[in-house]
Amino acid sequence: MPELPEVEVVRRGLEAHVLDRPIVEVEVLHPRPVRRHLAGPADFAAALTGHTFTAARRRGKYLWLPLETGDALLGHLGMSGQMLVQPADAPDERHLRVRFRFEGPDARQLRFVDQRMFGGLSFAPGGAELPAELAHIARDPLDPEFDDAAFLRRARRSASGIKRILLNQSVISGVGNIYADEALWLAGVHGERRGDRLRVVDLERVLAGARTVMTAALGQGGTSFDALYVNVNGESGYFDRSLEVYGREGQPCSRCGTPVRRASFMNRSSFSCPTCQPAPRGAR
DNA sequence: CTATGAACCTGACAGC
DNA sequence: TGCTGTCAGGTTCATA
């Protein structure tokens, strides 16, 4: 569940269902998602057992659950991770990797399910406020403390294309491949235009576009093309119906009718309108 | 310091 | 029915 709106949907679900319930057992079914915990899966489980989540927080695409001890459980969903709250008798998911059982009358379990295992969980000592691992992650554009001026400054100093800048989580967090393309379409800016050659007004439009699209997506439970991207209850969001360019190669731009173009970029795809988002001239 | 591209994984799907 | 190649909402690490 990759980008900010999807991760925020999960955060809210965790906040509603797993706080103030003492953990009685942590079962690591595959070591890979816990690889960042260098002391190993058994130590990971022991560090959490007996403790209680007190909150659910998010920075960009990272989630963490502070414990009453001041430590925290840190998680990232990667490309295919899910956090599910499931009844105890629900059959194990095919890609179930870590299971948390809780004490008390509510027998529902927290399950970390991840097909590709690019995501993971780790124990963050003293990480209740902000895990040390996240020191380099910028705030996201929906965060009230996001620094617009700092973003504009960094973008204007960079020779990288603006899409690359949007995907750089140390400059602006929470934006991924879908919402970067959507924000650029809203702003009418081509993703390969260099940051240092964009006008401030264009950068401001890109930032506003990111806020607009991610806020709207959040209102619809996020974007899901398939069952891989679901909330804590296994339900899909439906923002995919509102996407203007992402995944719409060949279909007409809703503003001008020009067929949406797809291009290869950083080993993935970029979608844009050739008319509304003219490619930069010259080198690149 | 910045800027790329490959690597990390599994599975679905298209084409032969 | 295979097989091969491509693609997928991300991050990190090694190399220029």
Burial class (CB in 10 A: 0-12, 13-18, 19+), A235: middle
Footprint of strand C on the protein (CB under 7 A): A 1-3, 6, 60-61, 76, 78-79, 116, 118, 133, 167, 169, 176-178, 222-226, 228-229, 264, 267-269
Check residue A282 and give its pLDDT.
57
What's the average model confidence in pLDDT over A94-121?
97
Please determine, for residue A250, whether its predicted confidence score (pLDDT) is greater than 70.
Answer: yes
A123-181 pLDDT tens trace:
999 999 999 999 999 999 999 999 999 999 999 999 999 999 999 999 999 999 999 99
In strand C, the nucleotides that come within 7 Å of a protein beta carbon are: 7-12
Please determine, for residue A17, whether its predicted confidence score (pLDDT) is greater than 60.
Answer: yes
Strand segments (E) across chain A: 23-28, 57-59, 62-66, 72-76, 81-86, 96-102, 109-114, 120-124, 261-265, 268-272
Q: Give chain A residues 20-79 with Cβ within 7 A of strand B.
A: 32, 79
Q: What is the CA radius of gyration of chain A?
A: 20
Provide the annotated active-site residues of A: 2-3, 61, 268
Answer whether any strand B atom is within 7 A of the Cβ of A266: yes
Percent of chain A with pLDDT over 90: 89
- pLDDT class of A232 with cuts at 50, 70, 90: confident
What is the spatial distance, in angstroms and rounded to an integer, between the CA atom of A134 and the C1' atom of C3? 43
d(CA A83, CA A12): 11
Answer whether any strand B atom is within 7 A of the Cβ of A164: yes
What is the spatial distance, in angstroms and rounded to an integer, between the CA atom of A73 and the C1' atom of B14? 41
Return the closest nucleotide (C1') to the Cα of A167.
Answer: C10
- pLDDT class of A284 with cuts at 50, 70, 90: very low
d(CA A123, CA A130): 12
Q: Quick check: A123 and A33 in contact, CB under 8 A?
A: no
Check residue A1 and give its pLDDT.
57
Check residue A225 and give its pLDDT.
80
Answer whether any strand B atom is within 7 A of the Cβ of A146: no
Answer whether any strand B atom is within 7 A of the Cβ of A159: yes
* Per-position b or e across A148-172, b if 16+ CB within 10 A of its CB: eeebbebbbebebbbbbbbbbbebb
Answer whether any strand B atom is within 7 A of the Cβ of A19: no
Return the closest nucleotide (C1') to the Cα of A78.
Answer: C10
Please determine, for residue A281, whether its predicted confidence score (pLDDT) is greater than 90.
Answer: no
Please determine, for residue A39, whether its predicted confidence score (pLDDT) is greater than 50.
Answer: yes
Answer whether any strand B atom is within 7 A of the Cβ of A268: no
A40-52 pLDDT tens trace:
999 999 999 999 9
Identity of the amino acid at A207: L
A53-78 pLDDT tens trace:
999 999 999 999 999 999 999 999 99
Q: What is the residue-averaged pLDDT of chain A?
A: 95
- pLDDT class of A115 with cuts at 50, 70, 90: very high
- DSSP state letters, A141-181: TTSTT--HHHHHHHHHH--SBHHHHHH-TTTS-S--HHHHH
Please determine, for residue A182, whether its predicted confidence score (pLDDT) is greater than 80.
Answer: yes
What's the average model confidence in pLDDT over A26-33?
98
d(CA A189, CA A162): 9
Which is more confidently placed, A109 or A235?
A109
- pLDDT class of A283 with cuts at 50, 70, 90: very low
Answer whether any strand B atom is within 7 A of the Cβ of A156: no
What is the spatial distance, in angstroms and rounded to an integer, between the CA atom of A53 and the C1' atom of C4? 47
What is the spatial distance, in angstroms and rounded to an integer, between the CA atom of A32 and the C1' atom of C3? 29
- pLDDT class of A188 with cuts at 50, 70, 90: very high
